[in-house]
Amino acid sequence: MRWPPYRGGVLIIDTATYEAIVDHARRDHPDEACGVVAGPEGSDRPARFIPMLNAAMSPTFYEFDSGDLFRLYKEMDSRDEEPVVIYHSHTATEAYPSRTDINLAQEPGAHYVLVSTRDGADSPSYDGPVEFRSYRIIDGEVTEEEVQVVPAYPAE
């Protein structure tokens, strides 16, 4: 099956990666969690989950460490990958890009995923839905997109 062209309107993500992102956000609460899901260049398929350290170790800010960032991009480059998803959590507010998120977004090809762990969503006993939303952020403009969670990606 051919991978369908959905760039711009939908994030299609497999269950395991979706859960890995939510688990990371819960684990790092009350600090913000952050990371990348890399995928083959041009595929728009988030395939390789890469949790990153939040060098800011803050409940209101996240930043990849500069050395980690360098190694991450070098590795993706050598594997012909790109950052398909860039995710981070909000720990006390909704899963919507903050002014800072919008100003600092510098990957026009990425899906920016936000997860919120507010209102007890970080707790293992929390059984409500965890806010998990995806956006394009290009030149300061935010466009939300649908998130489709699939059991597995179709074979290429």
Partner 1 sequence: MAIELRVPTILRTYTGGEKAVNGAGSTLAEFIDDVNGNHPGLKERIVEGRPEELRRFVNVYVNDEDVRFTGGLKTEVKDGDVVVVLPAVAGG
Nearer to partner 1, 20 or 60 (CB): 60
Mode of pairing for the β-strands spanning 81-90 and 131-138: unpaired
Using CB under 8 A, pick the residue from 3, 43, 53, 61 that binds partner 1: 61
Please list the residues that pair with 150 across neighbouring strands: 14
In the block, residue with structure tokens 């609460």: 29
**Minimum distance from CB of 120 to partner 1 (Å)?**
22
Kindly state whether residue 2 participates in binding partner 1, applying the rule CB under 8 A.
no
Using CB under 8 A, pick the residue from 62, 95, 115, 117 that binds partner 1: 62
Sign of CA dihedral 45, 80, 111, 114: positive
In the block, residue with structure tokens 């051919």: 2
**Minimum distance from CB of 128 to partner 1 (Å)?**
24
Report the distance separating Cα 99 and Cα 96, nearest Å.
10
Report the distance separating Cα 143 and Cα 125, nearest Å.
32
Would you give the binding string for partner 1 spanning residues 96-115, x where CB under 8 A is met? -xxxxx--xxxxxx------
Nearer to partner 1, 21 or 105 (CB): 105
* Contact window for partner 1 (CB under 8 A) among 19-27, 68-76, 125-133, 144-152: 68-76
In the block, residue with structure tokens 């688990």: 23
The single-letter code of the amino acid at 69 is: L
Contacts of residue 113, Cβ cutoff 8 Å, sequence gap at least 6: 11, 21, 85, 86, 87, 88, 132, 133, 134, 135, 147
Using CB under 8 A, pick the residue from 13, 21, 34, 84 that binds partner 1: 34
Kindly state whether residue 12 participates in binding partner 1, applying the rule CB under 8 A.
no
**Minimum distance from CB of 103 to partner 1 (Å)?**
8
Contacts of residue 61, Cβ cutoff 8 Å, sequence gap at least 6: 32, 100
Q: Which residues contact partner 1 by CB under 8 A?
A: 34, 36, 52, 56, 60-64, 66-67, 69-70, 73, 82-83, 86, 88, 97-101, 104-109
